[in-house]
Amino acid sequence: MSDIHSAAVILPVFNERDAIEAVVDSVAEYAVHFPHYYFLFIDDGSYDGTSDILAQVINRHHLKNIAFFRCSQNRGKGHAVRVGFEMVEADMLCFMDGDLAYSLDHLALLAEALQDSPVVIGSRKFQDASIKRPSLRRYILGETYNWLVRRMLHLPFQDTQAGLKGFRLQAARHIFSKSSIDGFGFDTEILYIAQKCGFSIREIHATVSKLHSYKKGKLKLIRDSVIMFYNLLLIRWKDFRKYYD
């Protein structure tokens, strides 16, 4: 894609057949009012027909600033975002959860913050108390992971996992050229790289939509805890081997 846009937003999706039409409709409505934004859905190898619905709904809207690409296999959000970033040119590159867990109104907050900082991340630590909280198991897992991130990687952030992040073009190119983790540790790795490379990182409020449900994704406490810990060790090992230099 040779066109250079003011802002490009990558939305990775996987097996979102039931929700994807409503998501595309919301994005299309936003895209009409903000034509300088380019939206690229990356289907991370869905096998439930998500790509077919994406194609149908996007074609129905006939908008030049919405497109999609299907990966041949499921490899994880990190891989999907990297594919998307490689396909677009924009002054500002962002990614957000493909189920719109965070409303598109957050894009204006990202854009404003990126005027002062090359990397901006959403943080749920500022979230209003009235917003539905995750299950106790998910909460414990998240808090434990954030604690380990601060201790093992010396990242000062309370929330590294929110699916809402933005980058100036040069920062994105530099950071993502060194990123290689596809799965859960992807968000943490790119922040570790950004900090190591000296990019300032600003946090903004990220409020989970009231319509978004935490019931998706069945957490297995022991398995997921092991995966989380392994990813942190992997980042430390990669740093030791100077992959991020």
Q: Note the pLDDT of residue 34.
A: 96
Q: Global pTM?
A: 0.91
Tokens of 204: 């903004």
Selection from 164, 177, 52 nearest residue 110 by Cα: 164
Residue range 133-156: mean pLDDT, rounded: 83
Calculate mean pLDDT across residues 219-238: 85
Apex CA 40: angle with CA 219 and CA 209, to 5°? 45
Q: Give dist(CA 48, CA 116) in Å, integer.
A: 41
4-240: CATH topology: Spore Coat Polysaccharide Biosynthesis Protein SpsA; Chain A (3.90.550)
The average pLDDT across 166-182 equals 97
The answer to whether residues 166 and 190 touch, using CB atoms and an 8 Å cutoff, is: no
Q: In this predicted structure, what is the pLDDT of residue 209?
A: 84
State the chain's mean pLDDT as an integer: 90
Per-residue pLDDT, 142: 77
- Residue 136: what pLDDT? 74
**Residue 141 contacts residue 221 (beta carbons within 8 Å):** yes
Q: What is the pLDDT of residues 40-69, one digit of tens each?
A: 999 999 999 999 999 999 999 999 999 999
Specify the pLDDT at position 6: 92
Q: How is the chain split into domains, by residue range? A: 4-240
The 3-state secondary structure of the chain, one letter per residue: CCCEEEEEEEEEECCCCCCHHHHHHHHHHHHHHCCCEEEEEEECCCCCCHHHHHHHHHHHHCCCCEEEEECCCCCCHHHHHHHHHHHCEEEEEEEECCCCCECCCHHHHHHHHCCCCCEEEEEHHHCCCCCCCCCHHHHHHHHHHHHHHHHHHCCCCCCCCCCEEEEEHHHHHHHHCCCCCCCCCHHHHHHHHHHHCCCCEEEEECCECCCCCCCCCCCCHHHHHHHHHHHHHHHHHHHHCCCCC
Would you place residue 132 in the very low, low, confident or very high pLDDT band (cuts 50, 70, 90)? low
For the segment 66-101, what is each residue's pLDDT rounded down to a tens digit?
A: 999 999 999 999 999 999 999 999 999 999 999 999
Would you state the pLDDT for residue 211? 65
Given a cut of 50, whether residue 135 has pLDDT beyond it is: yes
Spatial separation of the C-alpha atoms in residues 74 and 163, rounded to whole Å = 18
**Residue (of 88, 73, 108) closest to 176 by Cα position:** 88
